[in-house]
């Protein structure tokens, strides 16, 4: 299979697309911009979702579900929100079809026009805060710590599987608090949850920071983010957590009475990650032979492939041993498959599971059994070793953890090698063009300079890192005074 | 709290609505016909979903995700499907809003009109079979056993929370097979899965059967169903499993080459249950004091309420014992909460958890501790008993199972008492009007008679039970010969 893959050097974008399609993760649908997430891709998303969901619940959140549709006027209630989200969206204008009197199938019934158009949610702050108005009267009703797993739609003209699609799956947390401090603490807590998830489960190091005003969520006072680095030197925003101040409470008139019966607007946060994370996972870890899945969230962690010869008795012995191994591994909570499909050869299977990024492959032949060993191959390093069948289960469990750590460390080294301190404009442009990665430079703090740099280089400020070192310097473009470096990069 | 509830006798529909709203399950949203599923209701749905999802996976199915939107023309490809589903639906006609030049917020941009309108999926057969066309070439690609958890929209003029809403959550399985026999076996298997789930987890007995042509899914050759009985004597369809024949394969030209290289159309099934099941759960089990949750899927199985007196030392002892109990119960996998909120009194809490249907309530006071007992109340029978603290955890675990069984048996008795064999038209009408429930009568097998009966009585044929006894008789309306009884009822 690997022969048909484009290599990263040849064409990084095409390599990515090949992996998504040939790795069986997703494909384009007949509906412009909407993807089909195939079973293998969805199993990956389920694993990610389950881990995150557990982390949300452990931090006191509950799930709920809000309407898919948002009345058009709601988007306008928060001034900057409408600027950000009311542009490219799916608009429902009618609620009925009828048979075409000319016999050409069905047509929209012009008499079934909605009084007010409905927008398919691009994000749910407005519909949720209009709901919270009914839930909140007093401080006893706070905090509200709610999350929703949902599909959202943002009409996009140029789409890429997982990275930018018109419809995507995500979770959106929406919390309501009595005080500003509590809301900010929640915003920061959820950023930490995201960082922990992406680092410990996706094996992908991230930089925690805050966005500049230009890159802030439409309606937020502050947008916190985690930024990851892809193998082509471009950054990818892996999650955001927004401190929304009282903006949505004011837009939807949500107030509460505190213990002293003073009436105040409620404080809000929202935070989300999406199926875009799958794009990050692929671009950070995979290689020219295919996907490389971090064991902790891999849909399949171990595959066992029999190496049959023509001796029926030997085949039976291999099957017996493999089935026993499957049982043992499953008892350890390891996701394993025994692929004894007779219609494909071992070599084909090896390539197929390499393409799909299964972390560990065990090959088992008659001679191996005689020697009481199996051949164990790891996907990340593409090395293999002969391992005793005694204690193989323990070996595999340890190996999975080792692969997880190795993938993280490899990504961490790469990321750290690709943060470059730059102090002149020429070096700034040269670094972006020749090396890529994060460029750590001084910036004069104005949106105008940020815009100008974006216009000249396509690089944006990915974030101002949390706990950023303060140092005097001169803006890399304007030379004006600056108090700290920020991280620039070209980004997905 | 219970004082504010309408009783079943007073107004069954209002009682239901009260329970949904005051029980904290769901509420109407600002968007016509769309509901907000609140955290308590969503936790119930999550428990139901998790059990079903496990059952689907154990029967070899995988999850995937298909687009929210369906091109209008797709609905027309299967002739009877379009009749059933292309009527009341949400139609997306535009993909952009813009600022109103007159300054009145945002308006639909007339220049952003879609070439072909998109329908928000009412069900996904068409988009999925257009996808399967790309997945299936040979018998090696079959079967495809895929399920999707999704939101769907069917525009409804008169909506009721959970029972009939414009948007609802469901799962839809869509499978593809090489033979008719295999597809029928799958259809039947999934009906069995649904029946098992509803009976064993929701504690609700069901009758398995097939629908008559009138009640069949639009596009199916046969619709299998499970029918349950509500306390007001109306039936509710709790799940359907459709044998689709080759209808969608033909509509989307999905063929496969068999082992002998003969090319044939693929055979299909689809099957689904939805958040409507929550409506069934409420109406089957709850009483005038509120919800009654079956323990196996109850969001909360046990609540512990302290009965404090003014003695601080006694309070501490109660807290210590309660916290130890919580730990023990959780270790047994029991979902338990210790409600020591100081701002409400025990009596208020008792009523509140009764309203919410928590199966077991444990009250713990200073004197109880002295006597080494706790007061254990069960929600289903509203009885309470003093139980020794030694072995309380085991007692509670057993009690939860007992409640589960008792709820099932109670519903089963009620259902069985409300299946009435009727052989004359007068008795048919009288039974429907005065007793309700299922009426088991002979029918001449024609859609015309079924329509006429519906027109006269509002009763429909709920199903022809599987393995139905064959007996000669005369149609209850027309007197024409009949070979078997079928089950009529008024239904949700």
pLDDT 10s digits, A83-119: 777 689 999 999 999 988 887 788 999 999 999 999 9
- The CATH number assigned to the domain holding A388 equals 3.40.50.800
pLDDT score of B99 = 85
φ, ψ for residue A358 (rounded to 5)? -65, 125
**A138 token code pair:** 């007093």
pLDDT tens track for A367-392: 999 999 999 999 999 999 999 999 99
Best residue in A54, A67, A156 for a mutation probing chain B (most B CBs within 10 Å): A67
Please indicate, yes or no, whether residues B168 and B192 belong to a single structural domain of this protein: yes
Cβ(A113)–Cβ(A157) below 8 Å = no
**Residue B156 and residue B279 share a domain:** yes
Residue A31 touches chain B, beta carbons under 8 Å: yes
Report the chain A residue with the minimal C-alpha distance to residue B25. A64
pLDDT tens-digit readout, A186-219: 999 999 999 999 999 999 999 999 999 988 998 9
Q: What is the pLDDT of residue A146?
A: 98
- N-to-C CA span, chain A: 28
Q: In this complex, do B67 and A36 lie within 8 Å of one another by their Cβ atoms?
A: yes
For A419, residues 6+ apart whose C-beta sits below 8 A from its C-beta are: A437, A438, A439, A440, A487
CA distance A320 to chain B (A): 22
**Nearest CA-CA partner of A203 in A131, A300, A283:** A283
- The whole domain housing B78 covers 2-82+121-285
Q: What's the pLDDT score for residue A428?
A: 98
- The yes-or-no verdict on residue A285 having pLDDT over 90 is yes
State how far residue A434 is from chain B, nearest Cα, in angstroms: 38
- Interval A456-491: pLDDT, tens: 999 999 999 999 999 999 999 999 999 999 999 999
Half-sphere exposure of B248 (CA within 13 A, CB side): 30
Query: Is residue A121 included in any domain, yes or no?
Result: no
Q: Are the beta carbons of B76 and A105 separated by less than 8 Å?
A: yes
Contact A120 B68 (CB under 8 A): yes
Specify the length of chain B in residues.
Answer: 492
Nearest to A97 among B68, B87, B105 (CB): B87
Tell me, yes or no, whether A366 lies in a domain. yes
- pLDDT value of position B85: 76
In a shared domain, residues A307 and A281: no
pLDDT for A1: 45
pLDDT of B3 = 61
CB contact under 8 A, A89 and B71: no
Q: Closest to A82 (Cβ–Cβ): which among B64, B70, B106?
A: B106
Say yes or no to pLDDT of A321 above 50.
yes
Q: Are residues B311 and B215 in the same domain?
A: no
Within a 13 Å sphere around the CA of A261, how many CA atoms are in the beta-carbon half?
Answer: 0
Residue ending a domain, among A342, A368, A399, is: A399
Whether the CB-CB separation of A106 and B102 falls below 8 Å is answered with no
Tokens for A403? 């692969």
* pLDDT tens, residue by residue, B104-113: 788 999 999 9
Check CB contact of B130 with chain A, cutoff 8 Å. Answer: yes
| Yes or no, beta carbons of A90 and B67 under 8 Å apart | no
Q: Is A229 within 8 Å of A213 (Cβ atoms)?
A: no
Choose the weakest-confidence range: A2-6, A343-347, B180-184, B271-275: A2-6
pLDDT value, residue B75: 87
Q: Considering only CA atoms, which of B427, B449, B442, B439 is closest in space to residue B473?
A: B442
Same domain, B207 and B354: no
Q: Where are the alpha helices (DSSP H) in A391-464?
A: 392-417, 425-430, 447-457
- Does some domain include residue B239? yes
Averaged pLDDT for residues B330-334: 97
Q: What are phi and psi of A350, to 5 degrees?
A: -55, -50
Q: How far is A311 from chain B (nearest CA, A)?
A: 26
DSSP A432: I
State the SS3 of A196-246: HHHHHCCCCCCEEEECCHHHCCCCCCEEEEEEEECCCCCEEEEEEEEEEEC
Place of tokens 């309070």: B315
Is the Cβ of B297 closer than 8 Å to some Cβ of chain A?
A: no
Determine the average pLDDT of the residues in A161-169: 97
Answer whether residue B413 is part of any domain.
no
Confirm whether A412 is domain-assigned: no
> Rounded distance, CA B53 to CA B72, Å?
31
| ipTM, 2 dp | 0.96
Q: For residue B320, is it within any domain?
A: yes
Q: How many CB atoms sit inside 10 A of residue A180's CB? A: 13
Chain A residues in contact with B93 by the CB 8 A cut-off are: 91-94, 108
B190 shares its domain with B247: yes
Using an 8 Å Cβ cutoff, are B72 and A106 in contact? yes
Of A30, A68, A343, the CB nearest to B167: A68
Secondary element (H or E) of residue B184: helix B180-200
Which CATH number does the domain housing residue B458 bear? 3.30.110.30
For residue A55, being part of any structural domain is answered with yes
Contacts of A120 in chain B (CB under 8 A): 68, 92, 120
Which residues of chain B lie closer than 8 angstroms to A38, CB-CB? 64
- CA B261 to CA B81: how far, in whole Å? 31
B118 chain-A contacts, CB cut-off 8 A: 31, 90
Nearest-CB residue to A31 (from B67, B88, B89)? B67
> Is A102's Cβ below 8 Å from some Cβ in B?
no
Distance CA B220, CA B217 (A): 5
What is the 8-class DSSP label of residue A144?
E
Predicted confidence band at A346 (pLDDT cuts at 50, 70, 90)?
very high
Q: How many domains does chain A have?
A: 3
Q: Count the neighbouring beta carbons within 10 Å of the beta carbon of residue A309.
A: 11
Confidence grade of residue B1 (pLDDT, cut at 50, 70, 90): very low
Same domain flag for A334 and A200? no
The C-alpha of A343 sits at a distance from chain B's nearest C-alpha, in angstroms, of 9
Q: Distance between CA atoms of A299 and B12, rounded to whole angstroms?
A: 47
Same domain, A354 and A481: no
CA–CA dist B407, B294 (Å, integer): 7
- pLDDT reported for residue A257: 98
Cα separation of B413 and B435, whole Å?
15
Nearest to B88 among A95, A130, A134 (CB): A95
Judging by DSSP bridges, how do beta strands A302-307 and A336-338 pair with one another?
parallel
CA A201/CA A48 separation, integer angstroms = 8
Best residue in A36, A81, A118, A341 for a mutation probing chain B (most B CBs within 10 Å): A36
Across the interface, of A31, A42, A92, the residue whose CB is closest to B90 is A92
Distance between first and last Cα of chain B: 28
| Residues of A whose CB is below 8 A from B37 | 64-65
CB contact set of B262 (below 8 Å; sequence gap of 6+): none
A118: which chain B residues are within 8 Å (Cβ-Cβ)?
31, 90
- Helices in B111-270 by DSSP H: which ranges? 125-135, 180-200, 247-251
Q: What is the 3-state secondary structure (H, E, C) of A366-387?
A: HHHHHCCEEEEEECCCCEEEEE
Query: What does each C-alpha distance from A307 to A300, A310, A348 come to in angstroms?
Result: 20, 10, 12
Give chain B positions within 8 Å (CB) of A131.
Answer: 27, 29-30, 36
| B329 — pLDDT class (breaks 50, 70, 90) | very high
- Nearest CA-CA distance, residue A392 and chain B, Å: 27
Are A123 and A152 within 8 A, CB to CB? yes
Domain end marker among A399, A433, A449 = A399
Is some CB atom of chain A closer than 8 A to the CB atom of B309?
no
B193: domain CATH number is: 3.30.930.10
User: Across the interface, do A31 and B118 touch by the CB < 8 Å criterion?
Assistant: yes
Residue B435's pLDDT band (cuts 50, 70, 90): very high
Side-chain half-sphere CA neighbours of B333 within 13 A: 6
Cis ω on the peptide bond leading into residue B143 (within 30° of 0)? yes
- Tallying the residues shown for chain A, one arrives at 492
Interface probe, candidates B22, B26, B29, chain A, greatest A C-beta count within 10 A: B29
For the segment B337-343, the average pLDDT, to the nearest whole number, is 93
Which residues have CB under 8 Å from A393's CB, separation 6+?
A325, A328, A329, A332, A334
Report the DSSP pairing between strands B302-307 and B267-274. Answer: unpaired
| Whether residue B24 is found in the same domain as residue B154 | yes
Distances (CA, A) of A374 to A46, A230, A318: 31, 35, 11
Residues B156 and B281 in one domain: yes
Cα separation, A180 vs B25, in Å, equals 30
> Residue A3 — very low, low, confident or very high, per pLDDT cuts 50/70/90?
low
Domain boundary among A285, A317, A333: A285
Query: Would you call B155 and A96 a contact, using CB atoms and an 8 Å cutoff?
Result: yes
The nearest alpha carbon in chain A to B94 belongs to: A91
- Is A153 close to B68, i.e. CB distance below 8 A? yes
Mean pLDDT of chain A: 96
Q: Is B69 on the interface with A (CB under 8 A)?
A: yes
Question: Is B173 contained in some domain?
Answer: yes
Tell me which residues of chain A, numbers 473 to 492, contact chain B at a CB-CB cutoff of 8 Å. Answer: none
Q: Do the Cβ atoms of A97 and B72 come within 8 Å? A: yes
**Closest chain B C-alpha to A149 CA, distance in angstroms:** 11
Q: What percent of chain B stands above pLDDT 90? A: 91
Residues of A in contact with B66 (CB under 8 A): 29, 36
A224 shares a domain with A178:
yes
Question: How close B141 gets to chain A, by Cα (Å)?
Answer: 12
Residue B320, min C-alpha distance to chain A (Å): 22
B29–A131 C-beta distance less than 8 A: yes
> How many CB pairs (< 8 A) connect A and B?
187
Note which residues in 333-362 of chain B have CB less than 8 A from chain A.
343
Q: What pTM did the predictor assign?
A: 0.96
Q: Is the peptide bond before B393 cis (omega within 30 degrees of 0)?
A: no
Nearest-Cα residue of chain B relative to residue A76:
B105
Judgement on whether residues B383 and B468 belong to the same structural domain of the protein:
no
Contact (Cβ atoms closer than 8 angstroms) between residue B323 and residue B329: no
């Amino acid at each position: 299979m690997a022969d048909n893959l484009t290599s990263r050097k040849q064409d990084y974008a095409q390599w990515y697309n090949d992996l998504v399609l040939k790795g069986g993760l997703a494909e384009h649908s007949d509906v412009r911009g909407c993807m089909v997430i195939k079973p293998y891709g969805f199993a990956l998303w389920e694993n990610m979702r389950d881990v995150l969901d557990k982390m949300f619940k452990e931090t006191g959140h509950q799930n709920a579900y809000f309407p898919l549709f948002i009345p058009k006027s709601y988007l306008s209630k928060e001034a900057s929100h409408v600027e950000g989200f009311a542009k490219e969206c799916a608009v429902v204008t009618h609620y009925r079809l009828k048979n075409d009197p000319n016999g050409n199938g069905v047509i929209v019934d012009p008499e079934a026009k909605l009084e007010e158009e409905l927008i398919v949610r691009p994000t749910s702050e407005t519909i949720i805060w209009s709901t919270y108005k009914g839930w909140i009267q007093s401080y006893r009703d706070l905090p509200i710590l709610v999350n929703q797993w949902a599909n959202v739609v943002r009409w996009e003209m140029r789409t890429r599987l997982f990275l930018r699609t018109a419809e995507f799956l995500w979770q959106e947390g929406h919390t309501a608090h009595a005080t500003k401090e509590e809301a900010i603490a929640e915003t920061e807590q959820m950023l930490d949850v995201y960082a922990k998830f992406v680092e410990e489960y996706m094996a992908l190091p991230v930089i925690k920071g805050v966005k500049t005003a230009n890159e802030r969520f439409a309606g937020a006072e502050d947008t916190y983010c985690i930024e990851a680095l892809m193998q082509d030197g471009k950054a990818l925003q892996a999650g955001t957590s927004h401190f929304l101040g009282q903006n949505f409470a004011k837009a939807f008139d949500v107030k509460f009475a505190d213990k002293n019966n003073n009436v105040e607007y409620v404080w809000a946060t929202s935070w989300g990650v999406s199926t875009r994370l799958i794009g990050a996972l692929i671009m950070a870890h995979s290689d020219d032979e295919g996907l490389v899945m971090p064991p902790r969230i891999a849909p399949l962690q171990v595959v066992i492939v029999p190496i049959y010869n023509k001796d029926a008795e030997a085949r039976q012995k291999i099957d017996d041993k493999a089935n026993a191994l499957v049982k043992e591994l499953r008892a350890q909570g390891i996701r394993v498959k025994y692929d004894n499909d007779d219609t494909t050869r071992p070599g084909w299977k090896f390539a197929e599971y390499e393409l799909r990024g299964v972390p560990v492959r065990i090959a088992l032949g008659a001679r191996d059994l005689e020697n009481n060993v199996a051949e164990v191959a790891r996907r990340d390093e593409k090395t293999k070793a002969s391992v005793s069948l005694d204690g193989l289960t323990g070996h595999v469990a340890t190996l999975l953890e080792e692969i997880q750590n190795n993938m993280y460390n490899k990504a961490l080294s790469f990321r750290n090698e690709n943060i470059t301190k730059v102090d002149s404009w020429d070096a700034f442009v040269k670094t972006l063009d020749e090396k890529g990665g994060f460029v750590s430079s001084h910036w004069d703090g104005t949106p105008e300079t940020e815009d100008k740099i974006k216009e000249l280089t396509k690089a944006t400020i990915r974030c101002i890192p949390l706990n950023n070192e303060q140092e005097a310097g001169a803006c890399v473009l304007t030379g004006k005074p600056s108090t700290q470096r920020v991280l620039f990069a070209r980004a997905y």
